[in-house]
Structure 1
Amino acid sequence: MVFILGVNFPEQRLVKRALESFYGVGPSISLRLMAKFHIHPTARVGEIATKQVTDLTAELSSMTIENDLRRRLRDNIKRLRDMGTYRGRRHAMGLPVRGQSTQTQISTARKLNKIERKG
């Protein structure tokens, strides 16, 4: 088990997949991090050196990921709702925010835009 940013990963897991398991780190950011620390794209977590693990942990801790990013997104949506903008009202009603058609298919948008409805 390899310990990266407070999470234990099995040694056979790909480094790319391990990095993408953090909220806010997608495919492009994980590839950029791996290139920065000279890690092969098909490398496993158990194969990388401990110095590379500590460097990855330090780099991830300096980024805005996980709870900080979730809080920032929630605050941005709350700010839009408080200002009474069109996007804020669409978020509050659980409707599509970016101009999609609501005539027939909005079930996915209703699922994704569910937030607390106070205020």
Structure 2
Amino acid sequence: MVFILGINIPESRVLKTALQTFYGVGPNVAARLCAKLSIHKTAQVGSLAPSKVLSLADELSGLTIENELQRKLRDDIKRLRDMGTYRGRRHAQGLPVRGQRTRTQINTARKLNRVERRG
């Protein structure tokens, strides 16, 4: 197990997919990090040198990920709700925010828009 920023990652996992376990790191960001640190896209976590693991952790700590990103998103939605904007009201009601159809096909939006509604 390799320990990066508080998360244990199995040594047999490919690094690009292992990076995607962090909230806010998708396939493009993971590929960009691997390219920046000159790590092959199919390299496994266990084959990395300790210096590469430290530089990877340093790069990840510079990004807005995990709890910090979730807090930022929550604050942005709260700001929209407090201002009383259309988007804020749609978030508060749990309805689609970006103009999607609501006559049918609303169940997915109701599932995905679940954010803290009180307050």
Same fold (TM over 0.5): yes
Tell me the TM-score normalized by structure 1: 0.96
Taking the aligned partners of 1:60 and 1:25, their CA distance within structure 2 comes to 9
1:3 aligns to what?
A: 3
- The alpha-carbon deviation at position 118 of structure 1 amounts to 2.1
1:91 aligns to what?
A: 91
- The alpha-carbon deviation at position 48 of structure 1 amounts to 1.1
Gap regions ≥5 residues in structure 1:
none
Written as runs of structure 1 = structure 2, the 5 A alignment for 1:4-83 is 4-83=4-83
Kindly tell me the number of residue pairs found equivalent between the two proteins: 119
- The alpha-carbon deviation at position 116 of structure 1 amounts to 2.5
- The alpha-carbon deviation at position 6 of structure 1 amounts to 1.5
- Aligned-pair identity (%): 67
Tell me the TM-score normalized by structure 2: 0.96
- The alpha-carbon deviation at position 100 of structure 1 amounts to 0.3
Deviation track 1:26-80 (CA, whole Å, cap 9, x = no partner) reads 0000000000111110110001111100000011111110000000000000000
Q: CA RMSD in A?
A: 0.8
Gap regions ≥5 residues in structure 2:
none
1:117 aligns to what?
A: 117
